[in-house]
Structure 1
Amino acid sequence: MARVQRMLDACAELLDEGGYSELSTTRIAERAGVAIGSVYQFFPDKKAITQALGLRYLDLFSVRVGERLAERHFSRWTDAIDAVVDEYIDMHRNVPGFGSLHFGDVVDIRLLDGVADNNRIIALRLRELVTSVAGVEDSEELDRAIRVAVESADATLKLAFRHVPEGDQDLIEETKLLVRSYLERHFGSN
């Protein structure tokens, strides 16, 4: 629905301008050009709107990573890590609100799902992509390794963007190396 998309777009813009603490349903309604009642028709509060935005980002990230993986042939599946990190970086730099919200961790560690933390949800999505697109066999070991890789990448990418708005390129490259090396150690270089 176009109204909901306008509200989510307004939320993204406002997050970039003032962060979550400055966000309000009133400001979202004003920016989206809708009545405050329209906001409450779909979202009970600002957290619910940011949750919907975080889920939109997760879906967009999954689609874009899937496309990147499908368009290239990798001699080793762990080489696909660069494509995943590059997509995250591109979204951080170019998708309104993503750099401020990421996948919702700024608001709530369980924003994307009431039970699992945000990085767990991202790890599950990436595991699905790795098994479907790269043809890697699913296993508990793969699940654990991708969870560790996501947590590690999350920490180092936050560091890369902490003081450099476009991301410290050296730290971005270190993130890729860290995750690739870790996964290759567990699954070999093939």
Structure 2
Amino acid sequence: MTMPAEESGETPLRRRPTQRRSARRVERMLDACADLLDEVGYDALSTTRIAERAGVAIGSIYQFFPDKRAIAQAVTRRHVEEFVSRIGRRFISEEYGGWWDAVDAIIDEYVEMHRTVPGFRSMHFGDVVDLNLLDAVSDNHAVIAGRLRGLLLQEYGFTDSEDLDLAVLIAVEAGDAVLKLAFRRDPNGAPEIVSEAKRLIRGYLSRQLVGASA
């Protein structure tokens, strides 16, 4: 499996901030980008708008990022890290009857971030902009599936295999498509479609993962 870009050493940053003040400035740029994505969309996004919203000079933007795509890429990676961290915290703090309840929790976290995290509903995991936004080789859903697969392996002891890789990837693709439909129907996510997404993914994985657990 291809390693996610942040683990392979690739980064959208021209250079990493080495001082706390610089790091805070970069975070303001990412926050501004996320807000603007929701307000004006990616096509109307510009480095000038991001600089104005963040309260920094345009030169500060180019000190760390070559263009708006790189900033959007960094925002999307931040979404991924937050998504995986939230799921990890839930896995630690909550008790599940089985992997199917864990899958429901993953979907619930996706829906909650879609509702509350700036920029998330506009970018999801970057597929609107670039299918390889997170990794130059693997598409975005493959990167996300790899992260979620790792959590399921760690927590539920499934046997690592190519069949498991494919099953989780298909579940991520299908779930993302249905959940996007839920948010097209209702800005907060049509609950009946969210429920169907859970049923679809649980049913599919139940059929695919028989015998895959240790």
In structure 1, the residue matched to 2:142 is 120
Distance across 2 between alignment mates of 1:65 and 1:149: 16
* Residues 93 and 9 of structure 1, relative CA distance in 2, 3 Å threshold: same
- Quote how far apart the aligned CAs of 1:136 are: 2.4
- Residue 186 of structure 2: SS of its match in structure 1? coil
Answer 1 or 2: which has greater helix percent. Answer: 1
CA distance in 1, matches of 2:194, 2:92: 23
**TM-score under structure 1 length normalisation:** 0.96
Cα distance change of structure 1 residues 75 and 188 upon mapping to structure 2, 3 Å threshold = farther
Task: Tell whether 2:84 aligns with 1:62.
Answer: yes
Identity %: 57
Displacement of 1:114 in angstroms is 1.2
Partner of 1:164: 186
Structure 2 gap ranges (5+): 1-22
Residue 103 (1) aligns with residue 125 (2) = yes
Partners of 1:23 and 1:46 within 8 A in 2: yes
Match of 1:47 in 2: 69
**Whole-angstrom CA distance in 2 between matches of 1:109 and 1:186:** 26
Residue 120 (structure 1) shift: 0.6
Aligned pairs for 1:14-29 (under 5 A) are 14-29=36-51
Change (3 A) 1:12 1:89: same
Q: How many residues in Structure 1 have an aligned counterpart in Structure 2?
A: 190
Any gaps of 5 or more consecutive residues in structure 1? none
- SS class of match (2:43): helix
Partners of 1:163 and 1:22 in 2: how far apart? 24
1:141 CA displacement: 1.3
Runs of 4+ in 1 over 3 A off after TM superposition: none
RMSD: 1.3
TM-score (norm 2): 0.86
Counterpart amino acid of residue 30 in structure 1: E
